[in-house]
Amino acid sequence: MSFALAGMGAVASIGGNVAEIFDSLVSGHSGLAELRGFDRSKFRARRLYEIDDRPAAGKDVPLRATAWLEQAIAAALADAGLGEDLSEIPVVVGTTLRELRSVELMYRDGTAFDVRDLNFGRMLRSRFAAVHTETVANACSASLYALALGTDLLALNEADTVVVAGVDSITESTHGLLDRCYPKEPDTVRPFDRNRRGMLQGEGAAAVVVRREQDGPGPSGRLHAWILGAAANCDAHHPSAPNARTIADATRQAHRLAGVRPADIDLVMLHGTGTPLNDEAEAAATAEVFDLPTSRSPLMTAIKSMTGHTAGASGLHSLIAAVESMRTGIVPPIVGLDDPVPAVAGFRLARRVAVHADPVVAQVNSFGFGGLNAVAIVEKVA
């Protein structure tokens, strides 16, 4: 069963909408900049992929994640030609930290806001009259988990249209935790590179409008792509270390749902966090599923080298980039991949500069702490 991708909206450190973000990705533009949201002197890593929307450097404000979520959903609805009344349309939001940064500001600085606004559902009801809202906190695979839940609702005829979104902001406590995880502070995100030092956080939101195939693209008549399938599993193998076997299982499940074989995949949007454990596990699973280096590799890329790890939004950020790559025939590069690790031998990687290609079927990977794995398959509109 296929699903129509009728609308898209996004915001990240490299752009305020889908077009700006994709243009930045294709040009190799990174959102990495000096830390703005809190006192950088307390940390080793002092550069992150933040959205520059605060009133002043070092002066943070609450509810930024909610504002980006609202922006992305409004853009996706407009793109689909829908009004902003979601009273009959389910909304599924994936996130890692929700509004944790707002809680930090309240606890430490006494920053005042209505605590009821910590629930995304309140904004969704107020702005969009949404009634059926779900928020899943499934770590860094959250937005593709949300996509799997959304397509399940469509497949079960519980709805003819769903809005699926993901969002996260950088929090001081999480940055502090990550800042102490690596022997040397990361200077940038370098997926699959021998000189990688670890992951750096990014910020943003993404949203898509998805409809049942039989109902068509919606009022705008715009059809961005077909979603062929979205699979998810959870192995609980380890609090943070991924498991290559269950990543491969999730990938094969996505292929079965989509009715495709590994040889049908033209483009893989790798999770690509630039951490040794994730890179090695993802590479091992990918090599197994695609029989590499024996078989021909699909083209592969990873956008966290420019957006940072946008956590709950990262899966949909990658999916939107895949859809735009299929539309334009241009695949963004992996910036900073100068010396690939042995694990990706035989992988056809887009390195340093954008690659002109004509992908028809794309795979999107998204993996999170706790063994939360999600993979989606999308197809170009004929």
Q: Are residues 200 and 247 in the same domain?
A: no
Q: pLDDT for 358-371, tens place per residue? A: 999 999 999 988 88
CA distance 21 to 272: 18
**Residue 129 resides in a domain:** yes
Q: Are residues 177 and 282 in the same domain?
A: no
What pLDDT score does 56 carry?
77
Mean pLDDT of the chain: 95
DSSP of 168-198 = E---HHHHHHHHTTSSS--SS--TTBTT---
Q: Are residues 159 and 296 in the same domain?
A: no
Q: How confident is the model at residue 382 (pLDDT cuts 50, 70, 90)?
A: confident
**Residue 241 resides in a domain:** yes
**Residue 221 resides in a domain:** no
What pLDDT score does 188 carry?
94
- Residue 300 reports pLDDT greater than 80: yes
Q: Are residues 27 and 95 in the same domain?
A: yes
CA distance 316 to 26: 17
Q: pLDDT for 174-189, tens place per residue? A: 999 898 888 889 999 9
Helices (H), 115-232: 120-128, 142-155, 172-179
What pLDDT score does 149 carry?
97
**Residue 220 resides in a domain:** no
Q: Are residues 47 and 192 in the same domain?
A: yes
- Residue 194 reports pLDDT greater than 90: yes
Boundary of a domain, candidates 192, 215, 238 = 215
What pLDDT score does 305 carry?
94
What pLDDT score does 58 carry?
66
What pLDDT score does 154 carry?
97
What pLDDT score does 229 carry?
96
Boundary of a domain, candidates 215, 237, 254 = 215
7-21, 54-68, 121-135: least confidently modelled range: 54-68
Q: Are residues 306 and 250 in the same domain?
A: yes
Boundary of a domain, candidates 150, 183, 215 = 215
Q: Are residues 244 and 326 in the same domain?
A: yes
Q: What is the CATH number of the domain that holds 354?
A: 3.40.47.10
What pLDDT score does 371 carry?
80
Q: Are residues 113 and 248 in the same domain?
A: no
Domain count, the chain: 2
Q: Helix, strand, or coil here: 304?
A: helix
Q: Are residues 188 and 270 in the same domain?
A: no
Q: Are residues 16 and 137 in the same domain?
A: yes
Cβ-proximal residues to 219 (8 Å cutoff; 6+ apart), any chain:
80, 81, 82
Q: Are residues 239 and 172 in the same domain?
A: no
Q: pLDDT for 35-64, tens place per residue? A: 998 888 999 999 999 999 998 766 899 999
In the DSSP assignment, the letter for residue 99 is: T
What pLDDT score does 328 carry?
98
- The type of residue at 379 is E
**Residue 244 resides in a domain:** yes
Range of the domain at 283: 226-380
Q: pLDDT for 334-362, tens place per residue? A: 999 999 999 999 999 999 899 999 999 99
What pLDDT score does 12 carry?
98
Q: Are residues 112 and 140 in the same domain?
A: yes
Extended beta strands in the chain, E state: 3-12, 33-34, 47-48, 91-95, 133-136, 161-168, 204-212, 225-234, 267-269, 299-301, 330-331, 348-349, 355-356, 361-368, 372-380
What pLDDT score does 214 carry?
86
- Residue 22 reports pLDDT greater than 80: yes
**Residue 359 resides in a domain:** yes
